[in-house]
A and B are shown apart, each in its own frame.
Chain A
Amino acid sequence: MLGPLQPLVDMVTSPLFLMIVLFPGLTSIAIIGALLGWLERKVTARVQLRIGPLYASPAGGILQMFADLIKLSFKELFVPENSDAFFFIMAPTTGLVIGAALVGLIPFAPGLQIANIEVGLPAFLAIITLSPSLVLLAGWSANSKFPFIGGLRALFQQTAYEIPLWLSALGVIMMAGTLNLAQIVAAQSTGWFIIPQALGAFIFLVTSVAEMERLPFDLPEAESEIMMGWQAEYPGVLFLAAQGPGFVKLYAFSALFTTIYLGGFLGPSLLPPLFWMLSKTLVVIVLIMLLRSTFPRVRLDQLLRAGWTTLLTLAIVNIGITYLLVVGLPTF
C-alpha cells in the first residue's frame, strides 16, 4: 500500500519503538522531568508558605519549566577558557543518557518495559554508579575552583552511600529470590515488601536521596556554600543538560522504590496497572520533595560517618532480619 515506505512505517509503529520514543521512553521522560521541576517548586513553595510559579499558564504556572527551557536554550553557548571542552560538554549530556537508561529498566505495567533483563535491579544500581564519576569529570574539566570542589564532594559522597544502598537492595533480593524487576513485582502479589523490609526501605530511601544529590545531601551542588558546585560554569543549554538528570533520576528512583517495595503496578483491578504504578511513584516523589524543603544540609564528614557507621550497621541488621524471615532461626 505504501510501497517503499512500508518498512519505515512498520518500524515507527512497532511496540518497542513506541515504548522507546513515547512511553515509558524519551518523550514521557522529557515531559515528566519538566513537570517535576514545576511540582518541586510548587511543593517547596507550599511548605514555605509562598505561592511559587503562577503566571506561565492559566493552570497555576504548570508551563514554567517549559518557559525556562525555551529561555535557557536561546542563551549564548560558550565554554570558559582553559577548560577541557570535550569533557565539559560530554559530562552533562552523558548524564542525561544515564538517567534515561534507568527508566528503561522499570516495569510500568505487565509488558510495558523497554528492557526486561534478568539482572534488572543490579543493572539499575550499576548504571547509577557512573554518575558521580561524571560529576567529578565535569568539575575537573571546567578549570574552576567551585566546580572542582563540588566534583570531589560527589566522589566522597559516593563512598558514604554506595554500600548501604546495595546492601538494602540485597534484602529485597533475599525475599524475592530473583534479580529481575518484573519477577520482584510478581513476588509481591501476596504482600508488599515494605512491610517485612521496613528498615531496608528506609535505608534505601535515605541512600537514594544521597545518590540523587538532593537536599539534605546535595553537597556537590550546595547553592549557598559553593555556588551550584560542579554546575557553576555551565551556560544556557548546557546548564539545562546538567540540571535535567536530577529530575530524571528522581523519577527513575521513585519508580524503582515503588517497584521493589510498594508492589509496583499491583493494585485493585478496577483501575489499570499503569495508574497504580504512576500514582505510587508520585507519592514517593512528593515525599522526597518534602525532605528537600524540610531538612537542612548535612556536612560532608557527618554524611561519611553516618554512612559508614549507622547506615551500614542498619543495612546488616536488615539482612539479619530478612534471613530470619525467609529461613527462620538457624540451628547450626
Chain B
Amino acid sequence: MVAQGIPEIGAYIGFLFVSTVALIIVLRLLITPRDPRPTPEKKKPFESGQIAVGPGRTRFIIQYYPYLLMFVVYDVIAMFLFAWGLNLRALGEAGSLPVLVFIIVLLIPLGYALHLANHRENW
C-alpha cells in the first residue's frame, strides 16, 4: 500500500525511529547517574551564583496592567470581525456601514485607553 508517494518501508522506518527514541529515554532513566549526596546548594534556585534570597514567587509589580485590561476587552471584540470577513464576498456592500461604525466605535475608546496607559501616574 502506497500513501501519497511514501513507500510501505517508510512506515517501518518511522516506527523504528519512534520506538528507538522511546527505548533511549527508558534506558536513560534506568542507567542515569544519580548524585548520592547532593549538597544543599545544588537544589537551590539559580540566582547568578549567589545564595538565593527570599521566596521565588514574590509579590511582583504588574507594570503594564492597563494593556492587560485592554487585551481582555479587545481580543474578544476583534473576533467579531471574523464573522464579517469570512462572508465578505457574499455580503458585498451590505454589511459595510455597520462594520465601519463598529471599528470607529472600537478605536475611540482604544485611543483614550492608550493615552491613559502612557501616563504612569494613572496606574
List chain A positions with a Cβ less than 8 A from chain B.
12-15, 17-19, 21-23, 26-27, 30, 73-74, 76-83, 109, 111-112, 122, 140, 142-149, 152, 155-156, 158-160, 162-163, 166-167, 170, 173-174, 177-179, 227, 232-233, 237, 272, 300-301, 304-305, 308-309, 312, 316, 319, 323, 326-327, 330-332
Q: What total count of A-B pairs have CB within 8 Å? A: 176
Q: Which residues of B contact A23 (CB under 8 A)?
A: 6, 10
Cβ contact within 8 Å between B85 and A148: no
User: How many B residues touch the partner, as a band?
Assistant: 35 or more
Alpha-carbon distance between A76 and B115 when the two chains are bound, in angstroms: 51
Q: Identify 24 residue pairs between A and B in the complex whose beta-carbon atoms are under 8 Å apart, listed by A's number.
A: A14-B1, A19-B4, A22-B14, A73-B25, A76-B35, A78-B35, A81-B45, A142-B56, A144-B46, A155-B68, A159-B71, A160-B67, A166-B82, A170-B81, A177-B87, A177-B90, A227-B46, A308-B70, A319-B81, A323-B88, A326-B88, A327-B96, A330-B96, A332-B97
Is residue B47 contacting chain A, with contact meaning CB distance below 8 A?
A: yes
Out of B28, B47, B64, name the residue touching A304 (CB < 8 Å). Answer: B64
- The distance from the CB of B65 to the nearest CB of chain A, in whole angstroms, is 9
Contacts A18-B3, A73-B24 hold; do A163 and B46 have CB atoms under 8 A apart?
Answer: no
Cβ contact within 8 Å between B1 and A13: yes
- The distance from the CB of A228 to the nearest CB of chain B, in whole angstroms, is 9
List chain B positions with a Cβ less than 8 A from chain A.
1, 3-6, 8, 10-15, 17-18, 21, 24-25, 28, 32-35, 38, 42-48, 52, 55-58, 60, 62-64, 67-68, 70-71, 74-75, 78-79, 81-82, 85-90, 92-93, 96-97, 103, 107, 110, 114, 117-118
